[in-house]
């Protein structure tokens, strides 16, 4: 395997020994040089910051002051910090509230868009991506206005039909729902297209055969589409888990009055927002790095769980 890149010397005229050695050396390192740009960039922007974060987490690190080595004190403090556990709880809650509806909606939509007799299919498929290509900040600002307690469109409609106004941003549940709606809105189209791509690989004849046998839309969905989608469903669960652990912009923009904590009682402060608050508002880089490491451990944990699951779930062949 490793030697296959180097051509055999047999057909070549005898070269002076020194030049041959040099050429041999170049030929050995050439393939590494070709792939080096990626790995260099990855090292500079990925690996080194990653390792440096582990290093910074061991310090009381003021970016414009002293760096005092404190060992594992930051982690010790983190584990006893109610704000950290609050942020972790919020993150998981918002992740569940956004992922579950998003995947369900996407599944149904993908099945509908895959329908053979759907008119304007390309149009509908393209519009799915509009929320995804809209700026997160713009989406957040519009949604916060729509959900406003006193002047929002939604509460105005609720008021028209005689309900009390709901204060979405100030309560724990309300703010989580609000953020989850934004996340779902942004990602459901992307997920739908992933599912759709997978469904298109399923032979149409299977659906036709099922239809001939008298299977309706629901049966076709449950017994053909769903089994075919299993691997991609697992994939979207993983990506939305990783994305869900990093929800930031929406949380930052929900409560403009106390933006860095997402409200006065940190009701929707996510882990990344907590990291941002500690790092770039309080300038406690060491503590923020420790939060980053904790987040890393969580992401790796979820990814490992997924690897475990995905090796056990295989598509069911028609």
Partner 1 sequence: MNFRKVSAVVFTATAVLSMAACSGSSSGTSSSESNGSSFEFWSFTGIDAKGSAAEYKAKRPDVQIKLTEVGNAQETAQALTTALAGGKVPDLVLIQGDDLPKFVQQPQNFVDLRTMGADKIKGDYLDWVISQPTAKDGSIIGIPTDVGGMAIAYRADLFKKAGLPTDREEVSKLWPTWDAFIETGKKYTAATGKAFVDNAGGSVYSQVVNQGQEKYYDPAGNLVYERSPQVKAAFDLALKAVAAGITAKQSTFTEGWSAAMKKGDFAVIAAPVWMLGSIRDNAPDTKGNWDIATIPGGSGNWGGSFLAIPKGAKNPKAAWDYIAATQSPQGQLDHFSKARSLPATPSVYKDPKLTSAKDEFFSGAPIGTIYTDSLLGLKPFLIGPDSTTIGIEFTNAITNVEQGKGDPAKAWDAAVTNIKNAIGS
Report the interface residues with partner 1, using CB under 8 A.
Answer: 45-47, 49-50, 52-53, 56, 61-65, 77, 81-83, 144-145, 148-151, 167, 170-171, 235, 238-239, 242-243, 246, 255-258, 261, 263-265, 267, 272, 275-276, 279-280, 282-283, 285, 288-289, 291-293, 295-296, 299-300, 303, 306-307, 310
Q: Which is nearer to partner 1, 109 or 144 (CB)?
A: 144
Nearest to partner 1 of 220, 269 (CB atom): 269
In the complex, least distance from residue 254 CB atom to partner 1, rounded to whole angstroms: 10
**Distance (Å, whole) CA 268 – CA 277:** 13
Nearer to partner 1, 112 or 259 (CB): 259
Q: How far is the CB of 133 from partner 1 (least distance, A)?
A: 20
Q: In the complex with partner 1, which residue's Cβ is closer, 206 or 310?
A: 310
Tokens of 66: 């002293």
121 versus 142: smaller Cβ distance to partner 1: 142
For the bound state, the minimum distance from the C-beta of residue 49 to partner 1, rounded and expressed in Å, comes to: 4
Give 112 or 258: the residue with its C-beta nearer to partner 1: 258
Measuring CA to CA, which residue among 60, 53, 50 is closest to residue 286?
60
Backbone angles phi, psi at 68, to 5 degrees: -105, 125
Minimum distance from CB of 84 to partner 1 (Å)?
10
Kindly state the smallest distance separating residue 285's Cβ from partner 1, in Å.
6
Q: What is the Cα–Cα distance from 272 to 23, expressed in whole angstroms?
A: 51
Beta carbon of residue 295, minimum distance to partner 1 (angstroms, whole number) = 6
């Amino acid at each position: 395997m490793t030697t296959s890149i180097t051509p055999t010397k047999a057909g070549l005229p005898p070269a002076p020994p020194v030049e041959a050695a040099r050429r041999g050396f170049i030929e050995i390192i050439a393939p590494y040089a070709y792939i080096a740009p990626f790995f260099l960039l990855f090292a500079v922007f990925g690996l080194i910051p990653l390792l440096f974060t582990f290093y910074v987490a061991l310090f009381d690190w003021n970016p414009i002051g002293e760096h005092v080595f404190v060992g594992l004190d930051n982690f010790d403090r983190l584990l006893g910090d109610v704000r950290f556990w609050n942020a972790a709880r919020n993150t998981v809650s918002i992740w569940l509230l956004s992922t579950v509806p998003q995947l369900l909606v996407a599944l149904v939509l993908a099945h509908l868009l895959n329908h053979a007799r759907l008119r304007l299919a390309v149009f509908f498929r393209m519009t799915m991506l509009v929320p995804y290509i809209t700026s997160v900040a713009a989406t957040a600002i519009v949604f916060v206005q729509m959900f406003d307690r006193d002047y929002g469109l939604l509460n105005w409609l609720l008021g028209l039909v005689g309900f009390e106004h709901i204060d979405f941003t100030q309560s724990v549940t309300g703010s989580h729902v609000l953020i989850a709606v934004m996340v779902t809105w942004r990602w459901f189209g992307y997920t739908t297209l992933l599912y759709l791509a997978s469904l298109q690989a399923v032979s149409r004849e299977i659906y036709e055969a099922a239809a001939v046998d008298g299977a309706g839309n629901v049966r076709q969905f449950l017994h053909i589409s769903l089994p075919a989608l299993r691997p991609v469903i697992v994939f979207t669960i993983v990506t939305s888990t990783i994305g869900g652990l990093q929800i930031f912009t929406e949380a930052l923009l929900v409560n403009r009055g106390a933006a860095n904590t997402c409200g006065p009682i940190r009701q929707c402060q996510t882990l990344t927002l907590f990291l941002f608050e500690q790092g770039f508002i309080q300038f406690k880089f060491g503590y923020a790095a420790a939060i980053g490491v904790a987040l890393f451990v969580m992401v790796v944990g979820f990814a490992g769980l997924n690897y475990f699951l995905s090796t056990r779930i295989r598509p069911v062949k028609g």
